[in-house]
Structure 1
Amino acid sequence: MTLPEIVSREEWLAARQALLEREKEARREQDRINAERRRLPMVRIDKPYRFHGADGPAGLADLFAGRPQLIVQHVMFDPDWDAACPSCTAGIDEMAPALLEHLAARATTFVLVSRAPYEKLAAYAAARGWEIPWYSSHGDDFNFDFDVSFDESVKPPVYNYRALPVIPSPELPGFSCFLADGDAVFHTYSTFARGTDFGGAYALLDLTALGRQEEWEEPKGRAEHARAAVPDFAV
């Protein structure tokens, strides 16, 4: 095992301060990317997608559960599989109930969608102790239209906005975000990543058109006051 170099406290502090500047710039750049993402245009969804969940059949608008914003995690679970993808499973295992509460407090609903029949999803969720709403798109075009399921007889395979020369798996991971305005539903963003890449409510909200919606929060606590008083307090 290779260990870090041993130096004096002064040398460590100089190296840490230099790295801190790079960390701050990386955060600023990420903030600029998040702002640009929120400014992306959106596309109206007119196709009548159909899902099946704990309460029976549902349309895409039903998945919002009365909130204006929806985040869908595309969980890899092919109809022929007996279990979901291990990586997707690991990410969902780490999602605490408070995550959904934090998202809901910012008018955002979070759900899982997979192509396996609902009976398989319900059994798997029960075995894992999951309570996150999980919908089946079995028999529907939803997964194919959002390029996370692949069948050349349905459409040419595309993933991460590029043609796939070889299909590595019939299912791949991703997240899609939607916005509701009255009866209209719009697609605002999709990213093709693993669930383990987004570990908290803020990271998920940064994918959405409405963003973190800080104005919805309770009055500032001590940490927020510190950031307001010292703008460079955070990285």
Structure 2
Amino acid sequence: MARSIAPWDRLQTPARWFRSPDLHRQRPSLSLSAISCCPPSDANGSARRPRRQRAIADHFDCVIPHLNGRDITLVCESIAPLQEIQDYKQQMGWRFPWVSSLGSDFKYDFGAAFTEEQQRDGAEYNYQHVDRAEPQKEGMSVFALQDGAVYHTYSTYARGTEAFMGVYRFLDLAPRGRNENGLEFPQAWWRRHDEYGNR
């Protein structure tokens, strides 16, 4: 299967945790997923963003051993206090590495978080201009570690992150497919994995 080859952009001032041996375990590739660590409704009353990111995160634990076997480390990051991240991680039963980027520009630099000015005046998200940016959005970025340097090699946003969600592959094979017609927005059916009840 052919794969796209993206240019390697060297980061001049990578976040200090990029170089942490505990983070990448000396593996040459690092895949970072941006997750918002917040309750079902954020400060603006929108449930879409956290819902999408939690649904994506549900797919991570099972693939990590396979990625590690191919010298790839998968890590999630959030603009949130570390204790809040750890508490929510425990609540959801997740085991994947999850770091805090609170106090850094990381998520802003890679187009998944936006300043108050950008939220008001518009910003670039998913390689296009949006008139009103939400405070944070989903995104997945990939980095390479080589000879002590960190390179940005790939990013995807919005519905591009669905490629990492195996549940959609099953839905696409089902008789009614994704069955999203008539919903307020396509992902309105998503719930936390502990919110579906006994269906």
Q: TM-score surpassing 0.5?
A: yes
User: Per the alignment, do residues 76 and 129 of structure 1 end up closer, same or farther by CA in structure 2, a change over 3 Å counting?
Assistant: same
Deviation at 1:105, TM superposition (A): 0.6
Consecutive unaligned residues in structure 2, runs of 5 or more: 167-199
1:95 aligned residue = 60
Deviation at 1:70, TM superposition (A): 0.4
1:61 aligned residue = 19
Structure 1: distance between partners of 2:79 and 2:100 = 5
Deviation at 1:86, TM superposition (A): 1.5
The question of 1:77 aligning with 2:43 is answered no
Structure 2: distance between partners of 1:135 and 1:73 = 10
Deviation at 1:154, TM superposition (A): 7.3
Structure 1: distance between partners of 2:27 and 2:76 = 16
What are the within-5 Å matches in structure 2 for residues 169-180 of structure 1?
169-180=134-145
What are the within-5 Å matches in structure 2 for residues 1-235 of structure 1?
31-32=1-2, 34=3, 37-38=4-5, 40-50=6-16, 59-62=17-20, 63-77=23-37, 81=42, 85-97=50-62, 99-153=63-117, 157-167=123-133, 169-193=134-158, 195-199=161-165
Residue identity opposite 2:139 in structure 1: G
Deviation at 1:94, TM superposition (A): 3.4
Structure 2: distance between partners of 1:154 and 1:199 = 29
SS of alignment partner, residue 66 of structure 1: coil
Q: CA RMSD in A?
A: 2.6
Deviation at 1:49, TM superposition (A): 1.5
Q: Normalized per residue, which structure has more helix?
A: 1
SS of alignment partner, residue 151 of structure 2: strand
Structure 1: distance between partners of 2:38 and 2:79 = 6
Deviation at 1:163, TM superposition (A): 2.3
What TM-score comes out, normalization by structure 1 length? 0.59
Task: State the Cα deviation string for residues 9-64 of structure 1 (Å, max 9, x = none).
Answer: xxxxxxxxxxxxxxxxxxxxxx44x2xx22x22110111424xxxxxxxx212232
Deviation at 1:78, TM superposition (A): 6.2
Deviation at 1:141, TM superposition (A): 0.2
Bigger-Rg structure (1/2): 1
Residue identity opposite 2:80 in structure 1: A
What TM-score comes out, normalization by structure 2 length? 0.69
SS of alignment partner, residue 89 of structure 1: helix
User: Per the alignment, do residues 60 and 81 of structure 1 end up closer, same or farther by CA in structure 2, a change over 3 Å counting?
Assistant: farther
